[in-house]
Structure 1
Amino acid sequence: MDSINNNDQNYVKWFRNAAPYINAHRGKTVVLMFGGEAVLHPNFANIIHDIALLRSLGVKLVLVHGARPQIEERMEQRNITRHIENNIRVTDAETLVAVKDATGSLRLHIEALLTMGLVNSPMHGSRIRVSTGNFVIAKPIGVRDGIDYKYTGSVRRIDAVGIHTQLDYGSIVVLSPIGYSSTGEVFNLALEDVATKTALALKADKLITFTQEDGLIDESGELIRSCSVRRVKTLLDDKDCHVRQLLLRAIIQSGENGVERCHCVSYQSDSALLQELFTRDGAGTLIAKDHAEEVCTASIDDVGGILELIAPLEEEGILVKRSRELLEVEIDRFTVLKKEDVIIACAALYPYPEAGSGEIACVAIHPDYRNGNRGERLMNALEVKAFEQDLSSLFVLTTVSGHWFREQGFIESSMEDLPEGKKQLYNFQRKSKVYIKHI
């Protein structure tokens, strides 16, 4: 038998690992938002190829593009004076001509890229149908603080039925930052307004935003891998970048009004979009909708609540007994799920850095709250912590919950696969089974 080289093996492994994500995204509605800067970037053709791939995998796609730099270019060519008030463009009749020219040309360019099907290119055989139209109904901003914004408008409503019809036909819907009024007028709209209102009207499963950076960047300049909408609000303090604020507000508005997941990825990266959707670690920032139940690291004030939660499981012998003193010492290892400040679930992570591994322990969920996805949320939070500590695997010892851990991606293993430090502490009387998961 011919030997398979490492590249082929890595590809097969990646493809297998991607399969659950492919199944999860099939049939879902995703709104992608990108500015005119992204279209100008040399990597945009690769993004289009990846968009085509997503469509071939059964994802329903709506593309909302901006055109700010293209509009500026048209205005310079026509010697039209730029008029900005309160960070909003005043669109007079001359400016509106430049807006129509820029957005129309840009939309045609995107349609052409989506239609491209050269042999030996990623788009070969894709047969993508693109749909555009008067799906965005607009209204004028009007006069504010004595300033008439003329043909600058905002979204009045989105024709969700019309867009869903096109998506059901298998088309990719492309929306430009312009809208139409019932009186036949055309209005210049903000990209972020169109994208947000579209995601909400369609009840989209995801909003994906493209930015120059790798994703959302925190105050220290580091990439935020995942966070809540609540965390995004803290980033609004940066008053220096209006465009960045618009992007953040689009994410916040979407997350607070029903969009379960928002993603922020770089338009400069060749693989960011696919990595974000089809790998565990992603490439940018994942923003999850805030839940009434909060996942957080435990504090000393949570000791009593954790003891109360785990006591029945200790009595049954499902969990190893922990004293209050021990729990107080180890409290920073615990992650808890709270509802109105009451602890309804908990789990702990004990790292073994010399082995690049971590132990999941003391997993407990209140009986009244075991029907949701709370266990999965705890596991996701612990995996993020493990990743931050450069751990490559997690293990758990359990006597009764092995089936549940297998559902979470753990594989039954042997005691010999445990870190040396844990082997020495193994309790042979409990006969716990060992489950390991690589992350």
Structure 2
Amino acid sequence: MLSHQFAQPFREAAPYINTFRGKIFVLAISGETVDNGHFPSLAPDINLLVSLGVRVVLVHGIRPQIDKLLARHGLTRQFHHHRRITDDDTIDIVKQAIGLARLDIEAALSTGMPNSPMHGAHLRVVGGNVLTAQPLGVVDGVDMQYTGQVRRLDTQAIHAWLSNGDLVLMSPIGYSPTGEAFNLTMEEVATETAIALRAEKLIFLIEGIGVLDEDGELIHNMTAQQADERLAADTVNEEARLYLPYTVRATREGVTRAHLVSDSDNGALLTELFTSVGSGSMIARDPLVKLRPANIDDIGDLMALIRPLEEQNILVRRSREHLEMEIGRYTVLEHDNRIYGCVAMHPFHQEETAELACLAVAQERRNSGFGELLLRHVEYQARTQGLASLFVLTTKTAHWFIERGFSEMPPSELPEARRRLYNNQRRSKVFVRHL
């Protein structure tokens, strides 16, 4: 039905909407995104973030704008170690380029035509001299002149704007106490801003879709350590190579998550932020998936997780009271602080064995390897307790366990205490794996 198709995405996005309200996102767009006309399609999605209570800082680049103006004025581009040398003529071009880019961005963010996503939005865009810069100086004997680096940010002013519901637009230019302007990079400004504001997210909107593996497949989740290893091995695709070091630094200095997302794939930004699968690459300081002991506050999530499997007669029905009494035997699997799996272990020390029970993974994550993680965790628990084997009772998933080294045994070989509870009407098959 149309009502279900309309409502279901809202329900799936609700946990993220609740989590992100009041949080700071730093979005970084390149000058190419503005120059090639991709930004107007991003503007409605950025406006939606603000309307949902996300506090947005938008940082833009100006590389192609500078290059076009230099060519128009007959001036030569000068670089050293991939950084632009900004002389007297070039700093004037930088100022012009910033004006052109900001005007295009503000125009797109001001759209409010009827029947458009931004109708009635009245999004306010603010900015100012909140970024203090200093000269990069002489590098390898080359005077970088008006090329600079971030010295500090006026976070108090930025927080005040964000608290007022404004979108803060920042350009890659900073000012010194002596009244000089310095040309900066978008990547540095975005990263330093995210760190200084303790942002929830730093998001680079890039030409590609994210970090790709050796087979050209998108890597959805990475730790900062894994990103570092790929950079060291030079196995990062060109579209992501420029931005990945900044995501690593940001996550190691307090930014909760960093993302690389396509700037041209329609809806990619919202898909990355408000679905569990995402559309780009997310980088975090620590692994996103973790196993932990369940506690009484997890009961509601556990019941929601196992209820569909109970209805399909895959799992035995468990009451809330039963889960509360047995909660100490359960382990939950979290991905990005949301529970997607669980398992229980019931040891029988006299027989040196344990039952693996209530292994469940959310439907949308069945192909994520979460079942394997939970199985290995129970195996580890059993070994550390000196147990020699694991057994499981199942009616529907026999092949899954057989493929993982379990073999069938008759119910008569169950530990006596468990054999007394065996349900002859359910007629579950019993499988065992020796450790």
TM-score greater than 0.5 by the shorter chain: yes
Within 1, Cα distance between the matches of 2:37 and 2:70? 23
Within 5 A, what are the aligned runs for 1:15-414? 15-237=10-232, 238=234, 244-290=240-286, 360-362=342-344, 386-388=366-368
Report the residue type matching 1:269 in the other structure.
D
For residues 430 and 117 of structure 1, do their structure 2 counterparts lie closer, same or farther at Cα, with a shift above 3 Å needed? farther
Secondary structure of 1:253's match?
helix
For residues 72 and 430 of structure 1, do their structure 2 counterparts lie closer, same or farther at Cα, with a shift above 3 Å needed? farther
For residues 288 and 70 of structure 1, do their structure 2 counterparts lie closer, same or farther at Cα, with a shift above 3 Å needed? same
Q: C-alpha displacement at 1:46, in angstroms?
A: 1.8
Which deviations, in whole Å up to 9, do the C-alpha atoms of 1:115-140 show, x marking residues without a partner?
A: 11111111101111111101111000
Which deviations, in whole Å up to 9, do the C-alpha atoms of 1:178-234 show, x marking residues without a partner?
A: 111111101000111101110011111111111111111223322101110111112
For residues 13 and 184 of structure 1, do their structure 2 counterparts lie closer, same or farther at Cα, with a shift above 3 Å needed? same
For residues 90 and 389 of structure 1, do their structure 2 counterparts lie closer, same or farther at Cα, with a shift above 3 Å needed? same
Contact 2:66 2:93 in 1 (8 A): yes
Report sequence identity in percent.
Answer: 40
For residues 234 and 295 of structure 1, do their structure 2 counterparts lie closer, same or farther at Cα, with a shift above 3 Å needed? farther
Contact 1:118 1:124 in 2 (8 A): yes
Q: C-alpha displacement at 1:241, in angstroms?
A: 8.1
Report the residue type matching 2:104 in the other structure.
H
Contact 1:218 1:235 in 2 (8 A): no
Within 2, Cα distance between the matches of 1:420 and 1:218? 33
Q: C-alpha displacement at 1:40, in angstroms?
A: 2.7
Which deviations, in whole Å up to 9, do the C-alpha atoms of 1:331-370 show, x marking residues without a partner?
A: xxxxxxxxxxxxxx9889xxxxxxxxx9853579xxxxxx
Within 2, Cα distance between the matches of 1:383 and 1:210? 30
Within 2, Cα distance between the matches of 1:216 and 1:78? 37
Report the residue type matching 1:287 in the other structure.
I
Report the residue type matching 1:253 in the other structure.
R
For residues 276 and 86 of structure 1, do their structure 2 counterparts lie closer, same or farther at Cα, with a shift above 3 Å needed? same
Contact 1:117 1:126 in 2 (8 A): yes
State TM-score, norm by structure 1.
0.68
Within 1, Cα distance between the matches of 2:278 and 2:235? 28
Q: C-alpha displacement at 1:245, in angstroms?
A: 3.7
Within 2, Cα distance between the matches of 1:45 and 1:32? 15
Report the residue type matching 1:286 in the other structure.
M
Contact 1:43 1:269 in 2 (8 A): no
Secondary structure of 1:387's match?
coil
Within 2, Cα distance between the matches of 1:179 and 1:20? 38
Report the residue type matching 2:98 in the other structure.
T
Contact 2:206 2:239 in 1 (8 A): no
Q: C-alpha displacement at 1:152, in angstroms?
A: 0.2
Q: Look at both structures and tell me which one has the larger radius of gyration over its CA atoms.
A: 2
Contact 1:347 1:363 in 2 (8 A): no
Secondary structure of 2:211's match?
coil
Which deviations, in whole Å up to 9, do the C-alpha atoms of 1:271-330 show, x marking residues without a partner?
A: 110001111101111111237x9969xxxxxxxxxxxx9xxxxxxxxxxxxxxxxxxxxx
For residues 294 and 44 of structure 1, do their structure 2 counterparts lie closer, same or farther at Cα, with a shift above 3 Å needed? closer
Within 1, Cα distance between the matches of 2:196 and 2:152? 8
For residues 187 and 359 of structure 1, do their structure 2 counterparts lie closer, same or farther at Cα, with a shift above 3 Å needed? closer
Report the residue type matching 2:343 in the other structure.
A
Secondary structure of 1:210's match?
strand
Within 2, Cα distance between the matches of 1:63 and 1:219? 32
Q: C-alpha displacement at 1:105, in angstroms?
A: 1.0
Within 2, Cα distance between the matches of 1:219 and 1:34? 26
Report the residue type matching 1:199 in the other structure.
A
Q: Which runs of 5+ in 1 are unaligned?
A: 297-308, 310-344, 349-357, 365-378, 399-414, 433-439
For residues 261 and 359 of structure 1, do their structure 2 counterparts lie closer, same or farther at Cα, with a shift above 3 Å needed? closer
Q: C-alpha displacement at 1:144, in angstroms?
A: 1.7
Within 1, Cα distance between the matches of 2:58 and 2:225? 26
Contact 2:210 2:240 in 1 (8 A): no
Secondary structure of 2:192's match?
helix
Q: C-alpha displacement at 1:240, in angstroms?
A: 9.5
Contact 1:41 1:268 in 2 (8 A): no
Q: C-alpha displacement at 1:389, in angstroms?
A: 5.9
For residues 386 and 53 of structure 1, do their structure 2 counterparts lie closer, same or farther at Cα, with a shift above 3 Å needed? same
RMSD: 3.6
Report the residue type matching 2:259 in the other structure.
H
Q: C-alpha displacement at 1:145, in angstroms?
A: 1.6
Contact 2:261 2:279 in 1 (8 A): yes
Report the residue type matching 1:265 in the other structure.
V
Within 2, Cα distance between the matches of 1:430 and 1:286? 46
Contact 1:92 1:150 in 2 (8 A): yes
For residues 37 and 235 of structure 1, do their structure 2 counterparts lie closer, same or farther at Cα, with a shift above 3 Å needed? farther
Within 1, Cα distance between the matches of 2:240 and 2:8? 37
Within 2, Cα distance between the matches of 1:257 and 1:22? 25
Within 2, Cα distance between the matches of 1:49 and 1:105? 20
Contact 2:30 2:205 in 1 (8 A): yes
Secondary structure of 1:263's match?
strand
Q: C-alpha displacement at 1:42, in angstroms?
A: 3.8
